Amino acid sequence: MPEQERELNVLEPLEIEPGEQDDAAAEEKPAEAVETASKEEGAAAEPEQAGPSELEKLKAERDQLLDRVARMQAEFENARKRGERERNEFREFAAAGVVEQFLPVLDNFQLALKAGGSADQLRSGVELIVKQMEEILRQMQVVPVPAVGEAFDPRLHEALGAVERDDIPDQHVAEEVRRGYKMRDRLLRPALVRIAHNAKQVNE
């Protein structure tokens, strides 16, 4: 019996295989992984809580920008209409001023038609009216386009045809069919002319 007790008391240490140690560590790791995952989910959940307030802020900024754009469009449209109305009023005012200046000319024409007299008297009256009209145009800085005797200029003259002339240089205006006018440097209408064809000058 003492020998059996001695054998039982002397036990050799329990040896654990390497694979068994890994299994034990693996059993502990899932618990740590679950804890870490829970922390990460909690951290990820925090931005979701701040998300709605950020979205509302962006929507408010968007609404402010849309309102500002709508106001700018309305202001631009009002300015455009106001400018167009002012231009129309200016044109009407300018036209009224021109018409007012020509009313006396119209009065003189009507008086000339009502007056009795010879053809010479009527002609003299018409000549006075023409001078009156030319004076009004001169005050408006409207002047005739130089024509007869001038070199043909397609920017100022419109050729109706050519005539044989030996007293006028070739390619110069021989006749004025309709007078042209310009206002300052702007051409209102070209002069309608006939151009001289000087055969003698061409042959030389």
Give the pLDDT confidence of 43-101 residue by residue, as tens digits.
444 444 545 788 888 888 898 999 999 999 999 999 989 988 888 888 888 788 888 88
Model-wide pTM > 0.85: no
Cα distance between residue 131 and residue 104, in whole Å: 12
Confidence of residue 173 (pLDDT cuts 50, 70, 90): very high
Top-tier CATH class for 144-204: mainly beta
Amino acid 34: pLDDT: 46
Angle between helices 119-139 and 18-114 (to 10 degrees): 150
Domain ranges of the chain: 55-140, 144-204
Locus of tokens 């300052």 = 184
Kindly indicate whether the domain formed by 55-140 is annotated with CATH number 3.30.300.100.
no
* Distance of alpha carbon 39 from the chain centroid: 60
Cα distance between residue 90 and residue 83, in whole Å: 10
10 Å CB burial of residue 180 (0-12, 13-18, 19+) is: buried
How many other CB atoms sit within 10 Å of the CB of residue 50? 9
